[in-house]
Amino acid sequence: MRNAYILAIDTSCDDTSAAVTCGTTVLSNVVASQTELHKPYGGVFPTVAKLAHAENIDRTIQVALARAGTSIMKIDAVAVTVGPGLAPALEVGINTAKELALSYKKPLIAVNHIEGHVVSVLAQAQKRTIPVQKRAGFTERFDKVSSPDPVATYPALAVIVSGGHTQFVLVTAVGQYKVLGATLDDAAGECLDKIGRMLNLGYPAGPIIEEFAKQGDRNAVSFPLPLTTTKTYDLSFSGMKTFARNLLERKTAHRPLSKEEIYDFCASAQYGVFKHICYKLEKLLIDQYTASLVHPNSQTEIAIREVWLGGGVAANMTLRKMLRGIVSKHNAWVSKKNLEAAQQISAFRVPYSKKLCADNAAMIGIAAASYFEKSVFSELEKLQRVPQLRIA
Ligand code: KG4
Ligand code: ZN
């Protein structure tokens, strides 16, 4: 059976996105960003987001279909994000998906936005030949984007780090998830954005903090490491935000920070946020491994075989490097204990392009593919937004 062509829509937050996917292959992934509109508010303003989604959605879908070289008639199903997200924003995508499904008699698939971020690492770039300028002997070449190995080993642990969510999700198969830990307050991206706002860096501050951090000393300010005495894998970022605010108030009482001090502060804040995620990840991998030895027949206490990273903050190269470091350290620990090499973590996956880290509809299409295969469709009248939807 051929893979289905899916038109996917995501309007969960401040980006209007439409994509066409086929299995895990991305045929097009169009994002109309609203960042400029929300900049004056220093965050996403829901009613502004709704209006902008309504204005952009039709055109975004048209461009996604055209870039994929297809039309709505040839699409097998329409998939849409139903939550979590901002209620007025979700509504625009859902209403559009319903209209398309009704008008063109297509099945409708409801997708959880977090599941989209989880499976974003499985996305494959379309293998196509790109014509290049005619040179002797060369008329075409393959797309340079390298796709990941499509076959994953389970269970995987998805580390989702975005502006709205930060959680550890155990993936025993696509469609089977268990949240092992999550933030108790702010998300990691939200924390970086708020610290950036204190420094007047602009919105969203995450990517600016990454740039500034390259020129700073991450050990200049020692951010507190939260929840080190708790046994859970939950996370907390609000204390770091308060720490940053108090310190900045003291430091700037008599004079503004110098450029170098801002760079140092960015490097230290970013390091503090990522160190907390790494600390909990390391603990989780070891505990999960140990539990798998104690409960060899358990469905969920199985040694983790792959670590996946998704969400807007996954675009950050320092975070990727630090998480890779934890995976290597874990594997060294396993081999030092003379435990089977087969139980080491065999892959650390990130989406093949940064566009797949931030909110986008291609990840929704990829999640929808497994529902299409199982014929899990939504009834038009019953499909509703669920702003607080959880993945498991
Ligand atoms: O996944 P996303 O686009 O939206 C949500 O679902 O929240 O994530 C947006 C978040 C923002 O907090 C933004 O500052 C952060 O991702 N972000 C980054 C980077 N790029 C985006 N944070 C750190 N470094 C980056 N390079
Ligand atoms: Zn997101």
pLDDT digits (tens, 9 = 90+) for 273-311: 999 999 999 999 999 888 887 777 777 777 899 999 999
Work out the pLDDT band at 137, boundaries 50, 70, 90.
very low
Nearest-ligand number for the alpha carbon of 33: 1
Nearest CA to ligand 1 atom 3: 358
pLDDT at 339: 65
What are the tens digits of pLDDT across the range 157-196? 999 999 999 999 999 999 999 999 999 999 999 999 999 9
The model carries a pTM of: 0.92
Report pLDDT for 135: 39
Q: Is 207 in the pocket of ligand 1 (CB under 6 A)?
A: yes
Tell me if 310 CB under 6 Å of ligand 1.
Answer: no
| pLDDT confidence bin for 392, thresholds 50/70/90 | confident
Query: How much distance in Å is there from the Cα of 373 to the middle of ligand 1?
Result: 31
pLDDT in tens, 26-54: 999 999 887 766 666 666 777 877 788 88
The span from the CA of 134 to the CA of 229, in Å, is: 63
**Cα-to-centroid distance, 164 and ligand 1 (Å):** 9
- Measured from the CB, is residue 189 less than 6 Å from ligand 1? yes
Taking the C-alpha atoms of residue 389 and residue 84, their distance in angstroms, rounded to an integer, is: 5
Residues 231-282 have pLDDT tens digits of 999 999 999 999 999 999 998 988 999 999 999 999 999 999 999 999 999 9
Q: Determine whether the shortest distance from the Cβ of 312 to ligand 1 is under 6 A.
A: yes
Query: For residue 258, what are its two tokens?
Result: 């110098």
* Residue environment code for 367-385, b if the CB has 16+ CB neighbours within 10 A, otherwise e: bbbbbbeeeebbeeeebeb
Judge if the beta carbon of residue 163 lies within 6 A of ligand 1: yes
Indicate if the pLDDT at residue 341 is higher than 70: no
| Nearest residue to 186 (alpha-carbon basis) of 208, 162, 205 | 162
